[in-house]
Chain A
Amino acid sequence: MLIIQSLVSGLLTGGVYALAGIGMSLVFGVMNVSNFAHGDLMMLGMYLAYFAFTLLHIDPYLSLVLILPVSFLFGFLLEKLFVSRVIHHPHQNQILLTVGLGLIMSNSALLAFTSDPRILTTTYSSSSVMIFSDVSVSVPLLLSFLVTCAITALLYLFLARTRTGMALRATSQNREAAQLMGIDVSKMSAITFGIGTGLAAAAGALIAPVYYIHPMAGHNFLLKAFTVCVLGGLGSVPGATLGGLIIGVVEAFSATWISTDWKDVVVFMLFLAVLLFRPQGLFGKRGGE
């Protein structure tokens, strides 16, 4: 039973990691920018969900309907104002810019919201359902997982079926060629960054009911999101999805059979092994970045 319990909680937590990773991976794939503000964008999503819940009395899962467009717009503007200026610059400049943006966001949040952790308590916060008589499944985490699946499916459809989605993929495959084919690549970048921000904020909002909300909370997830991306192959959406699930399950298994204290070590050893034996990641393009 312990093995099924670990698998279930690992998969569910992995779903949230995946959502955090997908946004980062998408931005990297299309824009070739590592977004180090991703964790802080997640944090903003957490606060949006918190205030939507406490001030407007909207359920955190329903508030996504508000949070997604707001954060898309925020990301779109961030790209137009700042990120677009470094898109052709060396990586270290992009890192400096995104780290800087992240610091401004987390420290502004610290000033505005203080460092008191907020707890979002819904009626179902610590409820669970039992399966196989002895395995408990967290209700809020299960909801988060289902919403993650829905968002990921919509993203697939968008990328595969719509004109903008195809233009995004073309930009991701070859920026110059896409531009020669008449695609407005700078607009594609802004849209991508908007979607990336939306996904980060959604991940934050989804984790808010099962975590605590704090100005520095994003930092706990930035490293996870980055690991998820590299594991799955930078730029690959299915890779990031699978990467998130793998990390969630590996963490849960190592907490169960090795030690809670060692679970990060196991995750990063796996990460190193992937870098050594399959540097392009599980789903990455060979010869890519």
Chain B
Amino acid sequence: MKHRLLSLIAALLLFIPFKAQGAAPVKIGFINSITGKEAQIGENLTNGASMAVDEMIAKGYQVTVVREDDGGEPRNALAAYEKLVTRDGVVGVVGPYTSGCANVVASRADQYGVPLLVPAAAKEEITMKGYRNVFRLNAPANVYSQVLMQAVAPFRPKTIAYVYAATDFGVSTVQTAQQNAVAMGLKEVANEKYQQGQPDYRATLAKVKAANPDLVFLVSYDADAILLMRQAKEIGLNPKAFLGAGAGYTTAQFAQQRDISNLVISATQWTPDVNWPGAADFARRYQARFGKEPSYHAACAYEAMRIMIDTAVKAGSSEAIRNALKSGSWNGIMGAVKFADYGGFTNQNNHQMLVQQIQNGAYETVWPANFSTRKPVYPYKR
């Protein structure tokens, strides 16, 4: 009995300093599309997040990150979140990437009470339902169309055509674009939603060409963007401007296809040449480590992971993390970050989006004027 008591005390003594130092690393979850159809963009998020984790650990933050793959499927994302929260005991989660996945996970975050920081999903609804535990770093989908239209508004276009992927992001971006277009007095002359991965969009583009729009507003992922622009060139579709809302129109691979991508205008959350603190340096380190230029997804994931680690290590519990995210403010590679409630959004960072144009194979920031180095070229010419 005495021995037992002694050993118990000894065990407790061992435990106390251990606990007091807080040496047990804080556990954070990271959900991303590592495989599946969104895997290419997912890789950028993985890279950005990995950089943040490595740098924070090097700075002395005691943190373990548990990674989960959702394969781009909402049901897998939800299962991943539930596994992270119930089995791994994480105190905060960064992710998932796609709107579809993030929206489903967000709907359960309040039930489990573990804060979710969404780095790059754009569907508005995610932060519009008043969830207390859902925070979003990037600007929502309505801002994509808003900034694109603000950038071309001085040139007084009159008509617009929409060509977009039948995904959550595509549909919600175009819905808000339509509202912005109405406000600007633009007339809609074509509206074409397509299923991804088709080999032939020529019939669709020929129809758009027949409508002769001033602006062609596009939402596409990955390679579809290249296919669409190739076929647009074949068909001879020449509007006054091609507006690409994020995703496929903002990749380095797209910019390299000079004969089809030149002068395409796109909206982005981040550019390497923006004058936010550390942005250029981040781009350099990323380039050195992964051998390619970071996309905005990489920057979003990096900053989201950095904010989550910083908050989680200081706060400790899920409840405290939630309060700290709500009250804190940061200023890093994504500019000023503050999770605020405004215009129907809850815990939404009112992020300033940028408009860029591909000029001679490189993305140049062209709007807003205080962040840009070049002027937009309008009208579009081949």
Contacts and interface: CB of A to CB of B under 8 A. Distances in A.
Question: Do A and B assemble together?
Answer: yes
Interface of A: 2, 5-6, 9-10, 13, 16, 110, 115-117, 119, 121, 125-128, 136, 138, 207, 210-212, 214, 216-217, 220, 248, 251-253, 255-256, 259-261, 264
A260 B206 contact: no
B234 A119 contact: no
B193 A136 contact: no
A157 B223 CA distance: 38
A256 B192 CA distance: 10
A5 B199 contact: no
10 contacts: A116-B43, A119-B223, A214-B223, A220-B198, A259-B193, A260-B193, A260-B204, A261-B192, A261-B194, A264-B195
Interface residues of B, number: 36
A260 B194 contact: yes
Q: Which of B39, B192, B203 has the most CB of A within 10 A?
A: B203
Interface string B242-269: 0000000000010001011000000000
Given A110-B35, A260-B201, A128 B234 contact: yes
B210 A2 contact: yes
A251 B195 CA distance: 12
Given A117-B222, A126-B259, A212 B204 contact: no
B257 A5 contact: no
A148 to B, nearest CB: 14
B108 interface: no
B249 to A, nearest CB: 14
B37 A216 contact: yes
Interface string B115-126: 000000000000
B257 A252 contact: no
List 5 tightest A-B contacts by C-beta distance, closest first. Answer: A212-B223, A9-B202, A115-B39, A255-B203, A117-B223
A151 B33 CA distance: 40
Interface stretch (B22-30, B143-151, B224-232, B334-342): B224-232
A220 B198 CA distance: 7
A217 B73 CA distance: 18
B104 to A, nearest CB: 22
Given A211-B199, A248-B200, A253-B203, 19 more contacts: A6-B203, A9-B200, A10-B200, A10-B203, A13-B200, A16-B199, A117-B253, A119-B226, A126-B230, A126-B233, A126-B260, A138-B231, A207-B199, A217-B197, A251-B203, A256-B203, A259-B192, A260-B194, A261-B192
Contacts of A9: 200, 202-203, 206
Contact of B40 (A115, A207, A248, A253): A115
B236 interface: yes
A171 B55 CA distance: 66
B207 A255 contact: yes
B230 A5 contact: no
B182 interface: no
A117 to B, nearest CB: 4
Contact of A136 (B35, B166, B210, B236): B236
Contacts of B234: 126-128, 136, 138
A81 B280 CA distance: 55
A115 B360 CA distance: 27
Nearest to A134: B236
Interface of B: 35, 37, 39-40, 43, 166, 192-195, 197-204, 206-207, 210, 222-223, 226-227, 229-231, 233-236, 253, 257, 259-260
B202 A119 contact: no
A115 B35 contact: yes
Given A119-B253, A126-B260, A136-B235, A210 B203 contact: no
Which one of A117, A212, A260, A264 has the highest number of Cβ atoms from chain B below 10 Å of its Cβ? A260
**Residue of B43, B192, B200, B231 contacting most chain A CB atoms (<10 Å):** B200
Given A136-B235, A256-B207, A261 B193 contact: yes
Nearest to A210: B199
A142 to B, nearest CB: 11
A230 to B, nearest CB: 20
B289 to A, nearest CB: 17
Nearest to B226: A119
A117 B252 CA distance: 12
Contacts of B35: 110, 115
Given A115-B39, A126-B234, A255 B204 contact: yes
B226 to A, nearest CB: 6
Contacts of A138: 202, 231, 234
Contacts of B257: 119, 121
Contacts of B236: 128, 136
Nearest to B194: A260
A12 to B, nearest CB: 8
A255 B257 CA distance: 27
B221 to A, nearest CB: 10
Contacts of A253: 203
A259 B201 CA distance: 12
Nearest to B235: A136
A204 to B, nearest CB: 11
A7 to B, nearest CB: 10
Given A110-B35, A259-B193, A252 B203 contact: yes
Nearest to A117: B223
Contacts of A255: 201, 203-204, 207
B267 to A, nearest CB: 22
A241 B236 CA distance: 30
Given A116-B40, A261-B193, A261-B194, A211 B203 contact: no
A281 to B, nearest CB: 23
A2 B231 CA distance: 15
